[in-house]
Structure 1
Amino acid sequence: MDASFYFKGFLLGLAIAAPVGPIGVLCIRRTIASGRLVGLLSGIGAATADACFGSIAAFGLTVIAHFLLDQRIWLQTFGGLFLVFLAARTWRSAGAADAAKLGKSNRLFGAYGSTFVLTLTNPMTILSFISMFAGIGLTSGDPWQAFSIVLGVFSGSAFWWLLLSVCIGSFQEKMDRKAFIWVDHLSAVVIFGFAIVSLYHVFNKLL
């Protein structure tokens, strides 16, 4: 493994994960509602999807990249509608702990799978990875460099979600039911806002 490219990938992973978006809101809400592990797995799902996109860019899998980019309208439409669904479910379940409604294994799998799928609906991330990898000097065709930087991207992203879930989880025990309801309603509104923005961009591309 190339340590220098791993470190560069780690920083890229941090930079990609840190900006607040729908995944961040979901991670925060789920950490508060269901605990640190559920919040962390929500973030790890996104980190896994980022690693998949990073692998496509780093290993030069152009056939897969072109296919995903060609389908970006449909993928982004699905992503926007999925956000609407998540917003509605969050609003309806305001104040109710997820643990009371689902078994532990289903809850953990759902937390991971939902953010993994949601992140995959934005294939334009591949182009971002291609430009970033070129900017840090990734040599096309070098498998060790590619492996190192993808592992670094996943590690950096996962570290951010771990840090976020641990910090947010410290507030969980201090909140009463009214606070939980407020957090759920706010999360639902923010997620719905991201959905509207996403679907608006898709509508503009279709015009």
Structure 2
Amino acid sequence: MLHSLSLGPLQLGAFSLVPTALGGVLFGLALAAPPGPMNAVIAEESALRGWRAGFFAGLGAMTADACFFVLALLGVATIITETPGLERVMVSAGGLLMLWFAYGAVQDAHTVAGADLSATSGESRGFRKAFVLALTNPYQVAFWLTVGVGLLEPGVVDVASYVPAVGADALTVQTGHPVLLAGFFGGIGLWITGFPATIVAARSRIERLAPLIAWASAAVLAGTGVLFLLRAL
């Protein structure tokens, strides 16, 4: 004999938050995954010093996002855009830091070229590098002043309404909900865990990949640093 399944209000509420959690994860991945200086640092640390170093580099960028989250929550982040010249100072500082870290990546590439990667050592500064770069990255600040503020404000976004083949209210994301924010940082956590693991796996198969990744990291950092300085000028 079949019995009908009845869900109580608590169960229905928990089930309705699944799209919100998934939406948060996708937002987090969308912020963390695109190529840029942060992922260049993560890739360099992972290729030269292993998964742990790459993970901690990603954790540095994630910690900066947590700081911006708190500032946006308190409404302090708007000071950056309202203070004359402050954004230009941040862009200049970020550009100079990227050029300096690009120089360090070039040195690392020369060090590991032809060396035994299993014996590669040295203190990892990936956490500090990514953390400082993220704090001086105006694009990361802009994210929290625009999309980030939208994530914090209570409301409802019907994602399915933008997809003709899906019915309305099929995928409703609740902004400003703790589940959305937990999913957001969970998505970043997935990236900073999986991306270093992918780099390390590729490095173990292609021994010559580590210096190439270091050179690529230097190129990305140097190129972005020059663009930042040109923008500041």
TM-score bracket relative to the smaller structure:
0.7 to 0.9
86, 94, 101: which one aligns with 1:79? 94
Give the distance between the partners of 1:150 and 1:40, measured in 2 at CA. Answer: 21
Residue 51 of structure 1 deviates from its aligned partner by 2.4
2:201 alignment partner AA: S
- TM-score norm. by structure 2 comes to 0.70
Give the distance between the partners of 1:44 and 1:18, measured in 2 at CA. Answer: 14
* Per-residue Cα deviation, 1:136-194 (whole angstroms, up to 9, x for no partner): 68328xxx936444433222112112111111110122233x54333322321222111
2:185 alignment partner AA: F
**Superposed counterparts of 1:168-179, under 5 Å:** 168-176=199-207, 178-179=208-209
Question: In terms of mean alpha carbon deviation, does 44-53 or 34-43 score higher?
Answer: 44-53
4, 13, 24: which one aligns with 1:9? 24
* Higher helix proportion (structure 1 or 2): 1
Is the Cα contact below 8 Å between 1:51 and 1:150 reproduced in 2? no
3-state DSSP of counterpart to 2:146: helix
Give the distance between the partners of 1:202 and 1:56, measured in 2 at CA. Answer: 24
Give the distance between the partners of 2:21 and 2:70, measured in 1 at CA. Answer: 13
Give the distance between the partners of 1:74 and 1:158, measured in 2 at CA. Answer: 30
**Superposed counterparts of 1:110-121, under 5 Å:** 110-121=125-136
Structure 2 CA distance for partners of 1:136 and 1:50, relative to 1, 3 Å: closer
Is the Cα contact below 8 Å between 1:54 and 1:153 reproduced in 2? no
Q: Tell me whether 1:36 sits opposite 2:25 in the alignment.
A: no
78, 92, 99: which one aligns with 1:66? 78
Residue 35 of structure 1 deviates from its aligned partner by 0.4
Give the distance between the partners of 1:134 and 1:101, measured in 2 at CA. Answer: 40
Residue 28 of structure 1 deviates from its aligned partner by 1.1
Q: Which residue of 2 aligns with 1:192?
A: 222
Q: Which has the larger radius of gyration?
A: 2
Structure 2 CA distance for partners of 1:173 and 1:16, relative to 1, 3 Å: same
Structure 2 CA distance for partners of 1:146 and 1:127, relative to 1, 3 Å: farther
Give the distance between the partners of 2:132 and 2:36, measured in 1 at CA. Answer: 15
Structure 2 CA distance for partners of 1:120 and 1:133, relative to 1, 3 Å: closer
Residue 135 of structure 1 deviates from its aligned partner by 5.2
Q: Which residue of 1 aligns with 2:122?
A: 101
Identical aligned residues as a percent? 25
Number of residues of Structure 1 aligned to a counterpart in Structure 2: 190
Residue 133 of structure 1 deviates from its aligned partner by 5.0
Is the Cα contact below 8 Å between 2:43 and 2:213 reproduced in 1? no
Is the Cα contact below 8 Å between 2:42 and 2:58 reproduced in 1? yes
1:175 alignment partner AA: I
3-state DSSP of counterpart to 1:93: helix
* Per-residue Cα deviation, 1:73-100 (whole angstroms, up to 9, x for no partner): 2122111111101111111221436952
Is the Cα contact below 8 Å between 2:68 and 2:141 reproduced in 1? yes
Q: Tell me whether 1:165 sits opposite 2:180 in the alignment.
A: no
Q: In structure 2, list runs of 5 or more residues that go unmatched.
A: 1-13, 156-174
Is the Cα contact below 8 Å between 1:45 and 1:116 reproduced in 2? yes
Is the Cα contact below 8 Å between 1:55 and 1:146 reproduced in 2? no
Q: Which residue of 1 aligns with 2:161?
A: none
Structure 2 CA distance for partners of 1:51 and 1:148, relative to 1, 3 Å: farther
Give the distance between the partners of 1:194 and 1:137, measured in 2 at CA. Answer: 29
Asked which structure has the greater RCO (Cα within 8 Å, sep 6+), the reply is 1
